[in-house]
């Protein structure tokens, strides 16, 4: 086995943790933009909590925080994967099936990234790993 293989085997689980943390933080931004208009990216910050967009904002805030911490990672990632699939097929796909045209690439990317995290787990730098 080469030193590159050994290095990759050593760092792959750690980089899974880094990926989970970064994606969790990015996903929190989607929720904060819906509810607090921060960072301002077109959202007004006046989303009704008991609406479909409100539900997605709660999932993004809470799910993003849970992913960032690595707490209940597998179930959280699975739920968020489903949220992104629903987002793609209800928001993006009706205008055009192709993600490049309907601007649904982030939803597809997040969907499959979360599905991977649901299968791969949180990595070693997580509350889930400490609880075992």
Could you read off the pLDDT of 73-126 as tens digits, one per residue?
A: 999 999 999 999 999 999 999 999 999 999 999 999 999 999 999 999 999 999
Residue-wise pLDDT tens digits, 19-71: 999 999 999 999 999 899 888 866 677 788 899 999 999 999 999 999 999 99
Structure tokens at 95: 């205008």
Alpha-carbon span 51 to 57, nearest angstrom: 10
Domain range summary for the chain, segments of one domain joined by +: 3-131
Whether 20 contacts 70, CB under 8 Å: yes
Whether 102 contacts 92, CB under 8 Å: yes
Alpha-carbon span 2 to 117, nearest angstrom: 27
């Amino acid at each position: 086995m080469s030193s590159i293989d050994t290095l990759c085997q050593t760092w792959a689980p750690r980089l899974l943790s880094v990926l989970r943390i970064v994606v969790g933080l990015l996903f929190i931004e989607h929720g904060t933009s819906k509810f607090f208009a921060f960072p301002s990216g077109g959202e007004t910050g006046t989303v009704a909590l008991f609406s479909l967009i409100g539900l997605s904002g709660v999932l993004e805030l809470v799910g993003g925080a849970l992913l960032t911490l690595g707490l209940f990672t597998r179930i959280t990632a699975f739920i968020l994967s489903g949220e992104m699939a629903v987002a793609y097929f209800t928001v993006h796909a009706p205008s055009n099936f192709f993600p490049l045209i309907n601007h649904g690439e982030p939803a597809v990317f997040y969907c499959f990234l979360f599905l991977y995290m649901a299968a791969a787990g949180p990595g070693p730098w997580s509350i889930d790993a400490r609880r075992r």
